[in-house]
Every structure is written in structure tokens, then in C-alpha cells.
Chain A
């Protein structure tokens, strides 16, 4: 980050190459597949890094720090607009698209239902789910990002998994 402070292009290129794709997909999943918005948020995140490299928390790893910024941005975005209603519309369209394909219909229905239930969650819980299941981060890393004790993350994760599983039981994709 000190190199970036002095305007190192190569340093910035390295950071962008490592983190732009995973962060973009994180935003993409958290924003229900809104690619345009996901790219806007990725741009804003890296712009913040360019303009305020001194804001880097030296006690955290890069990975953790990036995702902390990203999750805070997501929380702000959720507060500012309604996302759930848009995803319900997308889900309906997806079901119609796969209506005559019975092989993956159950799978798609399961996936759609999962996304619907995830959209009902608060931003923190949804972030924990995505970081654990999609980003495959450890509980310790998630605790650092969310600024929560590990025990809290574990209990929330366990409760969330059980709750979602109960609601999706009828959509078993067998």
C-alpha cells in the first residue's frame, strides 16, 4: 500500500488482477445478478483504494480488507434501494425459460428458491452465506471481515443453514 501511495502503476495492476474478478462476482451475487451495478461498485471500491490508500488497515490481510470494504458497500446499497422485488421477477422469468426442460427443472427450481430465500435475509447474514459457500472462506476470515467473534459467525451459519434447508426441502434436486 505504501507503493500505491506513491502512485505505483505496477502495484495497482497486481492488486487489480488478483481481486477484481472475485470481488466483482461477490457483488454480482449480492446484487442478484445486476452486472452493471456490480461493476459500478467494483469501480468505486478500487477508486477508494486509489484515493485513500492510507485507509488500509495494516492489522488485516489484503483479502480481508477488500471484502470488508465490499461488505460495507453492500450494506449501504441495501439500505438505499429495494432489491428483493427485482429478483422475484427474475426468478419467474427463469422458471418460464426452463419450463420444458424437465432434466434440470428441479435443479433450477431449487436454485431459484434458494436465491429467493437468500434475498429475504439481512445483508450481514447473506454476506456470511456467500463468503462461506461461494468464496469458501474460513470462519476466522469471515469473523475478521464482519468484525464479529468467531462463535457468533458459527452459530449464525449453523442456524442459517438449518433454516434454509428446511424451506428448500420440497425442492430436493434428485
Chain B
């Protein structure tokens, strides 16, 4: 059925009963549909036209809600009115996240090495079995020859200059050497098979192990 036939038939359906159609009109109609179909379709058009469907009116509350929304849109700042599709917002957020994560991974945090020194004092109970005597070469000391006295004798054998009488506070090096020697002697004399450090708190304290 072409467009012209449709428009013509529809117009007839709205206005004319089948029995009132002209011969040409009947031929046009019967070429597309039967008389029964025409009558039924005609009834439908008439019924719909004659029926006054219930018409309703919008409630006033609806208008006031819309007016409020319009006022709110007017007062909103322009930046709030910018609308972006949700996928664009998500894409931007993801991009920022990836940049942040990338910066975090590339920056090298210096490792902090923490050392903790633990000092542990161990008391070693060990008998001293060996005594070593050490000879400390006397250094040349300043000659403090009292006035008027004869010059000291010089022993060429060991090329040491010894000033036995000059043991004063002004010669600390000589004093120290003699003290060490005396300490060693006394140790040997006091110990039976060597000396133990068990009763010697000073020596104990001297024996410190650092780990």
C-alpha cells in the first residue's frame, strides 16, 4: 500500500461507513482490506473519537518544586554547573593516582642504618701464668745537673745516660719506668703459680671485651 492509499483509506475510515462509499472508494478499500475489516476499523476510529478520556491537571505543588529547582540553578556558581560525564571524571582521577604512585616508586628513600653498640662486660677468671718483663728504654732526660757537681759518667756500652740520683718529680718518665718494674716484681713474688685476677678487681676491670 502506498502512502497516498493509506492516507485516503484512513480518511474514509474516520468519516464514512462502508455502505456510503462510492464505487471507486470501495474498490480502493477492497484492494487492501475486506469489508469486515473496514467495518471493524471504522468502529475503532469512531469509538476513540467519541470517548472523552479522563484528563488530569498537574498539581500546583509540582510547579513550585520546578520553580525552586530553576532558582537553585540560577544561584549556583558556574563551576558547579560544569557537568562532566562520569567516565571522564573517573579517567582523570585514575590518571592522578597513577602519577602519584609513579612518583612514589621512583623516589629513593635513603636507607637508614642503625647500629646499636652493646657493651657487654665479661669477667674473665683466668690465672695469669706468664709474666713478661719488658725493658723500657730510658729516654734521654733533661740533664739537671746541680751546679758545681761533676758531670755524670757516660756508659758507652749501652749508650745510656743514667742519672741515679736524679729521681725527682721533674723526671716523670723515669719514675714511671721504675713503678712498672716494681709492680711486676711484686706480682711475681706474691703469686705462687702465677697470680690470679680473681681477687684483683682493678685487673678485672681492665679486662674488657668489646664486641
Contact = CB atoms under 8 A, between A and B. Distances in A.
Interface string B54-68: 111111001101110
B66 A51 contact: no
Interface stretch (B33-41, B166-174, B186-194, B198-206): B33-41
Classify chain A's interface size: 35 or more
B86 interface: no
Interface string A6-32: 010100100010001100110011000
A133 interface: yes
A168 interface: yes
Q: What's the interface size class on B, roughly?
A: 35 or more
A46 interface: yes
Contact of A25 (B6, B33, B48, B53): B53
B37 A12 contact: no
B122 interface: no
Contacts of B71: 7
A85 B159 CA distance: 132
Given A12-B70, A29-B53, A169-B40, 18 more contacts: A7-B71, A12-B66, A25-B56, A28-B54, A33-B54, A35-B56, A50-B70, A51-B69, A52-B83, A114-B44, A114-B48, A158-B9, A158-B10, A161-B45, A162-B37, A162-B41, A165-B44, A166-B40
A133 B40 CA distance: 16
B126 interface: no
A38 interface: yes
Interface in B1-55: 1, 3, 6-7, 9-10, 13, 33, 36-37, 40-41, 43-45, 47-48, 51, 53-55
